């Protein structure tokens, strides 16, 4: 696994070779294995592979080559209002798998409500949802590298245009977390190196 993580690079140019849809689905399923707050899994992935959708995402990213060249671009959507939805499916699955105690399950709806209302009141609902979606996107990029495919996390785009491209314009409860082009690389990028660990790894307090 360390080899996969260290070998992954952000690729800007892709070959037109298609990626089998079954493999794309498998990678997205692996992304959804990422942890999430209260296991609400309040994130979704839109698989954009059609010519019209890719053209719209290219426009949304200011003409960058990634979504134009990659056969697939995955749009990670953060769902800040998902906590208001019915939690029966999440609770039933966890109960069937023996993952939660009866006490935890019984208190879940109220705990979720109080927690997310507090986030909303502090103006952190969007930020919190985006964090959950970003964790899933990280899982996806590692899984894609292990499958021999390339990715590039894209954070330079017009959110309104991305929302329009995937059919969620006007939805204030849905947010674009990340765009991840996926495909076979048409370039080789060298590892640019990382900072000395002494500058980024501290014990107990920051800077020590």
pLDDT for position 1? 72
Task: Report pTM.
Answer: 0.95
How many CB atoms sit inside 10 A of residue 205's CB? Answer: 6
- 79-94 residue pLDDT tens: 999 999 989 999 999 9
Task: Give yes or no for a contact between 49 and 71, defined as CB atoms under 8 angstroms apart.
Answer: yes
11 Cβ partners below 8 Å, 6+ apart? 66, 150, 151, 152, 181, 185, 186, 187, 189
CA atoms within 13 A on the CB side of 205: 1
Strand order in the sheet with 43-48: 43-48, 72-79, 174-183, 150-151
Tens digit of each residue's pLDDT (9 = 90 or more) over 158-195? 999 999 999 999 999 999 999 999 999 999 999 999 99
Is the pLDDT at 151 greater than 80, yes or no?
yes
Helix (H) or strand (E) holding 151: strand 150-151
Alpha carbons 43 and 135: distance in angstroms, whole number? 10
Q: How far apart are the first and last CA of the chain?
A: 29
Question: Is the pLDDT at 208 greater than 80, yes or no?
Answer: no
Tell me what the pLDDT averaged over the chain comes to. 95
Cα-only R_g, the chain? 19
Q: Are 1 and 173 in contact (CB under 8 A)?
A: no
Question: Which CATH class for the 2-81+125-199 domain?
Answer: alpha beta
Q: Of 70, 53, 76, 60, whose CA–CA distance to 140 is shortest? A: 76
Query: What tens digit of pLDDT does each residue of 40-98 get?
Result: 999 999 999 999 999 999 999 999 999 999 999 999 999 999 999 989 999 999 999 99
List all residues 6 or more positions away from 33 whose beta carbon is below 8 Å from its beta carbon: 139
């Amino acid at each position: 696994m360390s080899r996969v993580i260290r070998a992954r690079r952000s690729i800007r140019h892709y070959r037109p070779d298609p990626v089998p849809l079954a493999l794309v689905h498998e990678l997205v399923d692996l992304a959804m294995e990422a942890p999430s707050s209260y296991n609400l899994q309040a994130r979704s992935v839109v698989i954009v592979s059609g010519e019209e959708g890719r053209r719209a995402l290219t426009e949304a990213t200011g003409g960058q080559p990634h979504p134009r060249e990659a056969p697939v671009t995955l749009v990670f959507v953060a769902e800040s209002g998902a906590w208001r939805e019915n939690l029966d499916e999440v609770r039933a699955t966890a109960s069937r798998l023996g993952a939660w105690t009866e006490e935890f399950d019984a208190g879940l709806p109220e705990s979720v409500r109080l927690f997310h209302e507090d986030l909303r009141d502090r103006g952190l609902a969007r930020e919190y949802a985006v964090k959950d979606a970003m964790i899933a996107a990280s899982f996806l990029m590692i899984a894609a590298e292990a499958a021999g495919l390339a990715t590039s996390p894209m954070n330079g785009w017009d959110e309104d245009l991305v929302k329009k491209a995937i059919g969620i314009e006007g939805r204030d409860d849905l947010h674009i977390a990340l765009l991840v082009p996926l495909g076979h690389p048409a370039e080789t990028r060298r590892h640019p190196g990382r900072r000395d660990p002494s500058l980024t790894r501290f014990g107990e307090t920051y800077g020590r």
